[in-house]
Structure 1
């Protein structure tokens, strides 16, 4: 019996261009592993099909934007602590980690709410995302990942607010089956690591037939104290997490598909290392207690796909989702008897529709988005000596809301046999309301019109020259607007109802080269970031308090280069390399200085060798140059050495043994030289020499 077109489409989206056909009954991860063994090497991101940059399955080689895809092969080989770890050493990305169990990607020098994070087509960014390192991306289960896609550069036309540095999307597995009879499969993974005494287990399974499948899994993670390079184990670096997920796929009728998806992850108690241990230019720690206790994320999601081929659209995709993030905290300042207990909750509801239509030389993608976001916040202070409790002003005004609505259209036009033009436009409107806090409230309704243009010249079948001009924006959110009232240092923050969206305009030019034996890409880019929201002093009140207010006053200029290449020497041997360079300068009231948290020159070099049919070896080095271009904020940050972050490199080896059908034993030896090093902007030193043993069994 024939497969539906949607089964074919999803199989294609998980497979590299030019690979053997993937049957609907074969999971994409297994198909990718089979293809790698057959071909003797792994195709890099350029050859893989992506869906984020264009909202439709398309080869990364044919997209004008810079796109990074971490595919199933690399997902299976990694030993991540959080989902951000998949992006270490990837083109255009750098990873910052304030404390174990939390990490963020930095894309083209931007971070936090300046980059849009998504899971399965739904926004992860919430109304209390801050435009600095945060812990929320780590609330996505790193063991439930099919692939990670990064669109480098502004993507606000298709994705709206926050997509200024780019879009990072996590896509979770979808299990499919052939035939009328029921079938099933399962997967078990366990992992042990010596560097942080971590233990991990994941079990998942699926059952189904041609028109229906149901799958689910659970993950358990226990991370102990981290041993830094050439040194002792570090206190306050342990944490635990557990996660569960389920997914149902139902082909209602030919060309109609319905999917239900639910995900949950919880970190019961995660310490914030840099608050509990003295940092640079500190003699004592800031806090006696500081724990995210707990942090969790619940995600429920329905998707409907229809392949209609009618006058209005060829394909339609509707998403209905609900996400709840709880950011609860327990903190107590150094030497203080007052313990603060916080409950901060964000509830995000969304309904989106995206459509595609081919009309002659025009490939249209258009749609709408509507999100409703609510923030609840409470804070209680307890005296640990007396037990007396009192209600304190919450971190955010309780009951704050941020709603958004948008329409967009993108057109990919074949101008001539070798020329392609991409044009897009979007209108977004926001309704933001913060209830009164201490007699002060705020309400505003900004809107924005943005667009992009991209041009591809297909010089040959293997060489493409591309250029892009895009405008991104970030609407002020509850974090920007909601921190007002009494502040430390005798300050008093007042709201600003005139805040407007931040904007960035980025231009890039690149070359993409793709042959069976060699693939490479290189991009040069430059961004002008205006109206950055910054807290400024505006005078004193009658009580002598310093008045501060968030205003659109700062401008950044960012530029850099991204280079990636993979060379298949022969059927058994492949070499690859990545180099990222980012520079940044900030301007405020006429003063110019180095921009905040800019990554140093960094990248990855490695080789993969299929030693025998059942053995493979990979050796690689991660590296970063010295970073002494520091902003005033960097110089005051106890996470950053005021003399600059030293350059570093690590040497690593992985050995994989397919010792039985469906069973693989992997050994990773990381940081072999036991280097003590710190990734720029991170809150603690990285893991020293470590052995990681992984068992994967598919049945």
Structure 2
């Protein structure tokens, strides 16, 4: 009798356990939690747990079961069909997935409408339609990130009045900012290949609680191609071949990626090569931007040649190679391991804005170029799901990066070519946890970062090849370390009201020894040990169907890095920046209020206002070495300057976004940003250098069946002479001149049209005509004029 009861029990148990299903992402194979599962009349329902599992034994064998999630296309399955398919349900990502969830705020997925910060998401379809040359251009296409360019091989983002080392870049969750990220314009973002970017997210405003130092104005997160498993028998192959041509700089780009999927292994390989020629500016605009002459070397002598076509900016061209390899292994539904390898290298590329500066009416530089910009990222990511009392999900990210760059310059008429070369070995490790607690979620983690910097300087006589040493840009053998513990808490008080708070403690160590062979420094080394405590508090309130509110309060910081403490370089003609070991962290205090209005199903308006105060700001100011205010640098008397905690600043602004659906096929999207910033200089407030003029874009998009058209305009407001920061007023060569001979940044607009047609399920053609009216303009603070009328043709084949 006992045997029969036991047998019956085991039989019932086997039936019950056999009806536990797993819901997985169709592309990644990862479990999907919080999927609502119910029948048509909702009389029976359940939800998946953190491992994507749910029990469907309460559903009848014949009824249709509905699977619903904000981030996936709603699916309908019969119970019998699911059980015959190994108890697995695959869901496909919805087109608006990145509009609903974000990875940027807590390193784990969160619903976007429960986050107090403003997040800009860039989806795969938007990347495909924009067809950008570089990731800097991809950021600019959002209409919410301003991009400055000193040369064609560049792109320095500005967000809410901050730029360069006050913004943070991450790739696949790994911090890209290195210890030599400077306050001057950066071009590291071009190392990220837009053809291998699967999606991107931008935090507008501080992000130090999660990301630490530098995340004052914003955080730009790029997520590259992910390997995809095979859910059929055997091995699956998929991929993409892409080519693009642009007339403005005779660009030729080719890209290919291949995915190999197995049952629990997946591999993706990608390669992109781009060749960019000299960039041609527009026909209609200020004559100040024309390239009438340029320097060249003929028969061992520097000469000035007249440009056959002053619209062509000589020299600006370069080429670039990008490689990617990723491996994903999923031994069980609770574990997945990911290895990513990314490599990028450019050719030499000219620093164009240094090549047209003049001294006494003659071109100052015969050569000024960056050596190959090299970047390698090796990234190991391990994820585990568990029902332990300490966490539901844990994620380990360990990474190694190598950065290589150099600067090369030679004055016109001279034979000495000066070179400085910098390499950074960057190591990082993050351990992040997520734990669900009733109606709340707890996130906490630990981080360690180490940067080792090598730097050297040399010169070469190009006529006889004599060589020698000069001062390096940075103290050779210096190091920068960061250790942090952080936590954030999301509490859903009601269905319409949620709270998010966070706190982080960071400790920074800087170690640098200075070489006094070339300069008489009054110090031998910098030994900085400093801590920083930051926090955030935010509220989300969906008041009703018409309006939702976001309120955020946060602090952020930037610790001094090797570039701040120890660099030597010519910041501008007649000035040289020298080391300063007595630096402290700068702090930002931010408040922002946002509102999302849904006037009806077809009209949506988003408004955000913000204010940020920067205290103890590290800025470049006049300095002295042992009482000397002027020293000789590369043969030229130069005023001594250094980075100092010598200022405070404030920034405020407003951002607006409008979407109107005129019909299923026709949509209007518009973005607008206004920023005003000032910093304290010499007891008075002056314009903040990286506070951009008002800017934005407007798109009218028509999409029906296989055809899509995007008619759009991009625009930029004017900065008069009085609106320019003092440092910019002293760079007339960058700007147009007004009637008084003073530099100013004119307003501009472009009119553009993009068409996209699906030739078949495999072939996609994209044709764009940019700057149709052939405007000649430079974006604010840029050293190179933007492209004139530009025809772009792109073709991709997906298999």
Query: Does the Cα contact within 8 Å between 1:277 and 1:284 map onto a contact in 2?
Result: no
Describe the superposition over 1:30-63 as per-residue Cα deviations: whole angstroms up to 9, x where unpaired. Answer: 977xx66xxxxxx596x34211023221232331
- Specify the alignment match of 1:245 in structure 2: 324
Q: Distance in 1 between matches of 2:584 and 2:336?
A: 40
2:691 corresponds to 1:598: yes
Cα distance 1:126–1:286, how it changes in 2: closer, same or farther (>3 A)? farther
- Specify the alignment match of 2:755 in structure 1: 655
Match of 1:633 among 722, 727, 732: 727
- Specify the alignment match of 1:678 in structure 2: 778
Q: Distance in 1 between matches of 2:102 and 2:569?
A: 46
| C-alpha RMSD of matched pairs (Å) | 2.6
Query: Does the Cα contact within 8 Å between 1:541 and 1:547 map onto a contact in 2?
Result: no
- Specify the alignment match of 1:206 in structure 2: 259
- Specify the alignment match of 1:299 in structure 2: 377
Q: Which of the pair has the greater relative contact order for Cα pairs under 8 Å at 6+ separation? A: 1
Match of 2:447 among 369, 386, 392: 369
Q: Distance in 2 between matches of 1:617 and 1:282?
A: 51
TM-score (norm 1): 0.92
Q: Equivalences for 1:332-347 in 2 at 5 Å?
A: 332-347=410-425
Cα distance 1:195–1:537, how it changes in 2: closer, same or farther (>3 A)? closer
Matched residue SS, 1:335: coil
Matched residue SS, 1:7: coil
Of 551-560 and 83-92, the range deviating more from structure 2: 83-92
Describe the superposition over 1:523-557 as per-residue Cα deviations: whole angstroms up to 9, x where unpaired. Answer: 00011011111233355746674764432111111
Describe the superposition over 1:663-690 as per-residue Cα deviations: whole angstroms up to 9, x where unpaired. Answer: 1111101000011111111111100111
After TM superposition, give the deviation of residue 132 of structure 1 in Å: 2.6
If you compute each CA radius of gyration, which structure gives the higher value, 1 or 2?
2
Match of 1:520 among 582, 605, 620: 605
After TM superposition, give the deviation of residue 302 of structure 1 in Å: 0.5
Query: Does the Cα contact within 8 Å between 1:237 and 1:271 map onto a contact in 2?
Result: yes
Q: How many residues align?
A: 681
Q: Distance in 2 between matches of 1:334 and 1:477?
A: 34
Of 318-327 and 53-62, the range deviating more from structure 2: 53-62
- Specify the alignment match of 1:401 in structure 2: 479
After TM superposition, give the deviation of residue 19 of structure 1 in Å: 4.8
Query: Does the Cα contact within 8 Å between 1:412 and 1:421 map onto a contact in 2?
Result: yes
TM-score (norm 2): 0.81
Q: Equivalences for 1:272-291 in 2 at 5 Å?
A: 272-278=351-357, 283-291=361-369
Matched residue SS, 2:170: strand
Of 152-161 and 270-279, the range deviating more from structure 2: 270-279
Unaligned runs of 5+ residues in structure 2 are 1-20, 36-67, 77-90, 284-309, 631-638, 737-741
Q: Distance in 2 between matches of 1:492 and 1:391?
A: 18
- Specify the alignment match of 2:712 in structure 1: 620
Q: Distance in 2 between matches of 1:16 and 1:676?
A: 48
Matched residue SS, 2:472: coil
Query: Does the Cα contact within 8 Å between 1:4 and 1:255 map onto a contact in 2?
Result: no
Unaligned runs of 5+ residues in structure 1 are 24-29, 37-42
Match of 1:350 among 428, 434, 458: 428
Q: Equivalences for 1:535-554 in 2 at 5 Å?
A: 535-538=620-623, 541=626, 545=630, 548-554=641-647
- Specify the alignment match of 1:27 in structure 2: none
Match of 1:216 among 263, 266, 269: 269
Q: Distance in 2 between matches of 1:512 and 1:657?
A: 33
Query: Does the Cα contact within 8 Å between 1:48 and 1:69 map onto a contact in 2?
Result: no
Query: Does the Cα contact within 8 Å between 1:437 and 1:485 map onto a contact in 2?
Result: no
Q: Equivalences for 1:369-448 in 2 at 5 Å?
A: 369-438=447-516, 440-448=524-532
Query: Does the Cα contact within 8 Å between 2:244 and 2:793 map onto a contact in 1?
Result: yes
Query: Does the Cα contact within 8 Å between 1:306 and 1:316 map onto a contact in 2?
Result: yes
Query: Does the Cα contact within 8 Å between 2:566 and 2:580 map onto a contact in 1?
Result: no
Q: Distance in 1 between matches of 2:31 and 2:360?
A: 56
- Specify the alignment match of 2:281 in structure 1: 228
Of 687-696 and 542-551, the range deviating more from structure 2: 542-551
Describe the superposition over 1:551-597 as per-residue Cα deviations: whole angstroms up to 9, x where unpaired. Answer: 21111110101111222222211111000101111112312111113
Matched residue SS, 1:61: helix
